[in-house]
Amino acid sequence: MAHRQHPIGTGFTAASTAEEVVAGLDLSGTNVVITGGHSGIGLEATRALSGAGASVTVASRDPARAARALEGIERVEASHLDLLDPASIDAFAARWLDSGRPLHVLINNAAIPSPGEPVRDSRGYEAQFATSHLGHFQLTLGLRPALRAARGARVVNVSSGAHRLSGIRWEDPHFTTGYDPGLAYAQSKVAGVLFAVELDRRWAGDGVRGYALHPGVVVGTALNNGADEEALRAMGLIDRSGAPVIDPERGKKTPSQGAATVVFAATSPLLAEIGGVYLKDSDIAPLDDEHRPVTAEGPPSDAMSRSLDPDSARRLWELSERLIEV
């Protein structure tokens, strides 16, 4: 994996926006499913993809709320999906397959705010891992026939630089003992990277490629709305007046800048022959295996070798199949 994990010189920067990334692309006839595509960077990705001609289905736990947020955006629809409910995931996949539409791009974007106390689904699974990884894993497997039918498709996992802070807790992925919300979040994000690596290995022969990415830190997204101002200020994300700090070179971005790498992964011709990689700033991220602490200057977000390890990726896939009872 390591030989592919290096920047390719795309011409984009940390400050590039989603609209700039898709400029000049004609996505007419492209079908996209994006989870959580009605808020934050998901909404900006939806807007940019639709603006370039794609037809976008936004999967949401509350389709009515999603539809209100999506008003005025062309070629977009909202459909019910609860990533913590296996039956809801199966129903969404069945509806899509019944429609007969090929699926060119699946963007696994939705996540939940990090809870202070452990939250579990009906199976007893830790909610962040169940939502960000297992729910998307089940959804992706359910949509595989439509992805194959596209004859050239991409699965995009929105991860985070937080993947650097944890591996998979193989013996206790659901934190039945010693719950730590930060580590639970980090595990859910490293899972997204490993999932993309193994998906690409297994499905590239069918024309389905996998990507994971760090969008940057965007103040005001659903994942940091729960943080108080003191915490956001300590992280260097807001200034003394409470206004967001925008400094894309240090990873602090506007929603459109955060969505840029999402739509780059989904659409860029530069990735046509490359998959199973982790992206940032609308390019392939460099490898950096040095331990770097999180500071207010900017969280480390480059790729780590352990997050791209093919043996760990295969092991996670097999664990995930058991957990969703495939």
Residue type, 298: G
pLDDT for 243 equals: 84
Between 230 and 193, name the one with better pLDDT: 193
Structural domain span for residue 12: 2-323
Instruction: Specify the range with the lowest mean pLDDT, choosing from 29-43, 127-141, 224-238.
Output: 224-238
User: Are the beta carbons of 191 and 316 closer than 8 angstroms?
Assistant: yes
Number of domains making up the chain = 1
Write the pLDDT tens digit of every residue in 282-302: 999 999 999 998 777 778 999
Query: In Å, how far from its chain's centre is CA 6?
Result: 20
pLDDT band at 222 (very low <50, low <70, confident <90, very high): very low
| CATH code where residue 64 lies | 3.40.50.720
Mean pLDDT of 61-89: 98
Q: What is each CA distance from 212 to 16, 194, 215, 254, 280, in whole angstroms?
A: 18, 8, 10, 20, 9
Write the pLDDT tens digit of every residue in 190-213: 999 999 999 999 999 999 999 999
Write the pLDDT tens digit of every residue in 99-124: 999 999 999 999 998 888 999 999 99
The pairs formed by 294-297 with CB atoms below 8 angstroms and a separation of 24 or more are 294/165, 295/236, 296/234, 296/235, 296/236, 297/236, 297/250
pLDDT for 225 equals: 46
pLDDT for 2 equals: 45
Q: Which tokens is 130 given?
A: 């169940």
| pTM to 2 decimal places | 0.95
Sheet with 277-280: list strands edge to edge. Answer: 76-80, 55-60, 31-35, 105-108, 153-158, 208-214, 277-280, 283-284
Task: State the chain's mean pLDDT as an integer.
Answer: 94
pLDDT of 223 > 50? The answer is: no
pLDDT of 188 > 80? The answer is: yes
Catalytic residue set = 185
Q: From CA 284, how far away is CA 213, in angstroms rounded?
A: 9
pLDDT of 73 > 60? The answer is: yes
Between 225 and 163, name the one with better pLDDT: 163
